[in-house]
Amino acid sequence: MLKAFKELNEFYIQQSVGFSNTYTYYSNQKKVLAMAKVNKNVSKTIMNRIFQMIGLHSFSSHHYYLCDDKETLVYKLERETGFSKKFQLKALDGNVLFTYDDKMNMSHPQVIIEDSVGGKIASLKGDMFGDRVDIIDIDDKVQMTITKKGFPSSMKELFTTGGGYTVSINRHVSDEWKIAFIAFATIYDLLFFSKK
């Protein structure tokens, strides 16, 4: 578990684009809590470059490290190249902790969050391309809300930042599920808004 999130139920996430694609998690006081940093050694494959050049970003692989506020590696966030590949949150030893299965249906895109043995714990509900989505558990109770940030406030911000979100997690969510939801904030942007 990322210690900075232990007692925290609301945070912000901001993508920084440029030479390295990074998602930074902030507290309400703008303190850095964590980062999802691209693993450059894995993400620059020939197939990835081809998919990106021809605009098929959803087929690209993604390899990120989820780091704490001191940039210590804590988890891996990965998806392999290909059509029906799933995102996975892994421990550093490679053990899969959670899987994020995106069921791409243009009329109703859906993401199912599964635990390490394939049991469904939650799913995405809402307008995927709108301003707000909820993560609901199997009892249809909202466990997390992601709200998209508005337009950039300056020209510099327009060219150096990507998506920005406010994230609220139900205070009764277990520590185990909380890390699944924290990681999903990055996956949400990668699935529906990223062109990297």
What would the pLDDT profile of 12-52 be if each residue is shown by its tens digit?
A: 999 887 656 889 999 988 899 999 998 877 656 677 677 66
| CA separation, residue 188 to residues 46, 49, 70, 155 (Å) | 25, 21, 24, 25
Q: What pLDDT, in 10s, does the model give residues 82-131?
A: 766 799 999 999 999 999 998 766 556 688 999 999 999 999 887 766 68
Please, which residues bridge with residue 66 across strands? 36, 75
Q: So where are the chain's domains?
A: 3-192
**pTM (predicted TM-score):** 0.83
CATH of 3-192, one of 1.10.40.50, 3.90.226.10, 3.40.50.1950, 2.40.160.200: 2.40.160.200
